[in-house]
Structure 1
Amino acid sequence: MACNHFTDLSPWQERFITAASRTAEVLVALSYDSDVPATHGLEALVARLGERGNVVSVSTGDSWTDPGLAALTSSLFSGRSLGAAPQAVRFMLAAGEDAEAVLAAREARRLVETGVAPGQIAVTFRDLGRRVARLRSAFDAEGVAADFDVDTAFRSTPFGAALFAGFDAVTEGPDQRERLLAFLLSPYSGVPPADVARADARWRRSRVSGSALVAQARDLSATSARVLQLCAAVGGAGLSERRAQEWKELADTLLAAATSARGLGGFTGLQDAAAHRAVLSTVSELVGLQNVSVDGSRIRKALVAKRVATGARERSDAVVVTEVHRLRSRRFDAVIIGGLTADEFASEKPEPLAAVLLGELG
Structure 2
Amino acid sequence: MAMRGLGTSPPRLDGVVAVNRFVTLSEPQEHLIRGISSVGEVYVSLTWERGHAATEWITELVERLLNCGASHTVCPPKPARDELDLLEAGLFRPSATITPTGTVRLVHATGPEEEVAAVFEEIEGFVRRGVRPDRIAVAFRDPDRRIHLLSAAAAKVAAPVRIEALRPLARMPFGAALMALLDVVRKETRDRTRFLAFASSPYSGVPLDRVAAADLGWRRARLSGVDLLESACSLGSNISSIVAAALRVTGKDTVSDDGWKQLAGLMLSAARDRHPVGSVEALQDAVCHEGVVAMASSLAQVSGGQARLDDAIEALRSIHVPVVLGPEGPAVVVTEAHRLQSRRYEVLIVAGLSADEFSPDRPKRLAREIAEALGVDDRAAGSESERALFYSLVTKAARQLVLVDPTASPGGDGPRRSSFVDDVLDLYRSSQERAEGDAPSQPPPGRGGPDGLPGRSELSLGVDRSSLRRRAAPGLLDIQCPEVGKVDSREYTVSELETYLKCPFRWFAQYAARLSPIDVLLGPAETGTLAHAALAGFYRAWTEKHGLQRVTPSTVHDAVALLAEVWAAAVEKQWDAGVAGRYMLDRTHQRAAALIRDDAEALPGFAPTEHEYRFGASVGRPFEIDGCHLKGSVDRIDSGTTGIVVMDYKSGSGILGHGSFGSAGLLQLPVYAAVAARYFDRPIAAIVYRSLSTLQVRGAWNSARVDLSARGTRTDTVDDEGMEKVIAQGEARLAEACAGIRAGKIAPQPVKGACRFCPVSPVCEQEERLW
If the TM-score is normalised by the length of the shorter chain, which range does it land in? 0.5 to 0.7
From 301, 312, 315, the counterpart of 1:288: 301
1:173-217 deviation line (CA, Å, top 9, x unaligned): 443423211112323223333333332221111112222210211
Q: Does residue 322 in structure 1 map to residue 344 in structure 2? A: no
Distance 1:99 1:289, change over 3 A: closer
C-alpha distance in 1 between matches for 2:207 and 2:229: 17
C-alpha distance in 2 between matches for 1:350 and 1:171: 30
Q: Does residue 252 in structure 1 map to residue 265 in structure 2? A: yes
C-alpha distance in 1 between matches for 2:324 and 2:224: 41
From 100, 122, 125, the counterpart of 1:110: 125
Identify unmatched segments of 5+ residues in structure 2.
Answer: 1-99, 374-771
Q: Is the 8 A contact 2:160 2:331 kept in 1?
A: yes
Per-residue deviation, 1:294: 3.0
Amino acid at match of 1:229: A
Counterpart in the other structure of 2:59 = none
Q: Does residue 302 in structure 1 map to residue 315 in structure 2? A: yes
Identify unmatched segments of 5+ residues in structure 1.
Answer: 1-84, 358-362
Q: Is the 8 A contact 2:116 2:150 kept in 1?
A: yes
Question: In the comparison of the two structures, how many residue pairs are matched?
Answer: 270
Q: Is the 8 A contact 2:161 2:327 kept in 1?
A: no
Q: Does residue 149 in structure 1 map to residue 164 in structure 2? A: yes
C-alpha distance in 2 between matches for 1:159 and 1:177: 19
Distance 1:297 1:339, change over 3 A: closer
Counterpart in the other structure of 1:38 = none
Per-residue deviation, 1:254: 2.4
Report the secondary structure of 1:110's partner residue. Answer: helix
Report the secondary structure of 1:336's partner residue. Answer: strand
C-alpha distance in 2 between matches for 1:265 and 1:131: 26
Q: Is the 8 A contact 2:151 2:325 kept in 1?
A: no
Counterpart in the other structure of 1:6 = none
C-alpha distance in 2 between matches for 1:104 and 1:344: 17
Per-residue deviation, 1:125: 1.6
Per-residue deviation, 1:342: 3.9
Report the secondary structure of 1:142's partner residue. Answer: coil
- Correspondences of 1:205-244 after superposition (within 5 Å): 205-237=220-252, 243-244=256-257
Distance 1:101 1:157, change over 3 A: same
Distance 1:233 1:145, change over 3 A: farther
So what's the TM-score if we normalise by structure 2?
Answer: 0.32
Per-residue deviation, 1:105: 2.5
From 67, 90, 102, the counterpart of 2:105: 90
Q: Does residue 203 in structure 1 map to residue 238 in structure 2? A: no
Amino acid at match of 1:217: A
From 129, 136, 139, the counterpart of 1:121: 136
Q: Which has the higher strand share?
A: 2
Amino acid at match of 1:322: T
From 177, 189, 200, the counterpart of 2:192: 177
Per-residue deviation, 1:264: 6.5
C-alpha distance in 2 between matches for 1:199 and 1:343: 44
Distance 1:336 1:292, change over 3 A: same
1:134-153 deviation line (CA, Å, top 9, x unaligned): 11011011144333221223
Q: Is the 8 A contact 1:278 1:308 kept in 2?
A: yes
Counterpart in the other structure of 1:46 = none
Distance 1:148 1:187, change over 3 A: farther
So what's the TM-score if we normalise by structure 1?
Answer: 0.63
Higher RCO, Cα 8 Å, sep 6+: 1
Q: Which has the higher helix share?
A: 1
C-alpha distance in 2 between matches for 1:266 and 1:147: 17
C-alpha distance in 2 between matches for 1:349 and 1:297: 27
Per-residue deviation, 1:109: 3.2
C-alpha distance in 2 between matches for 1:86 and 1:256: 58
Counterpart in the other structure of 1:331 = 344
Q: Is the 8 A contact 2:161 2:326 kept in 1?
A: no
Q: Is the 8 A contact 1:147 1:267 kept in 2?
A: no
Per-residue deviation, 1:87: 8.3
C-alpha distance in 2 between matches for 1:177 and 1:289: 36
Q: Is the 8 A contact 1:264 1:272 kept in 2?
A: no
Q: Does residue 187 in structure 1 map to residue 202 in structure 2? A: yes
Per-residue deviation, 1:222: 3.5
Q: Is the 8 A contact 1:162 1:186 kept in 2?
A: yes
Report the secondary structure of 1:317's partner residue. Answer: coil
Q: What RMSD in Å do the two structures reach over aligned CA positions?
A: 3.5
1:41-73 deviation line (CA, Å, top 9, x unaligned): xxxxxxxxxxxxxxxxxxxxxxxxxxxxxxxxx
- Correspondences of 1:19-38 after superposition (within 5 Å): none
Counterpart in the other structure of 2:410 = none
Q: Is the 8 A contact 1:119 1:315 kept in 2?
A: no
315-324 vs 339-348, which deviates more? Answer: 339-348
C-alpha distance in 2 between matches for 1:290 and 1:349: 31
Counterpart in the other structure of 1:275 = 288
Distance 1:332 1:344, change over 3 A: same
Q: Is the 8 A contact 2:190 2:224 kept in 1?
A: no
Q: Is the 8 A contact 1:184 1:191 kept in 2?
A: yes
Amino acid at match of 1:303: L
Report the secondary structure of 1:148's partner residue. Answer: strand
Q: Is the 8 A contact 2:284 2:323 kept in 1?
A: yes
C-alpha distance in 1 between matches for 2:319 and 2:347: 32
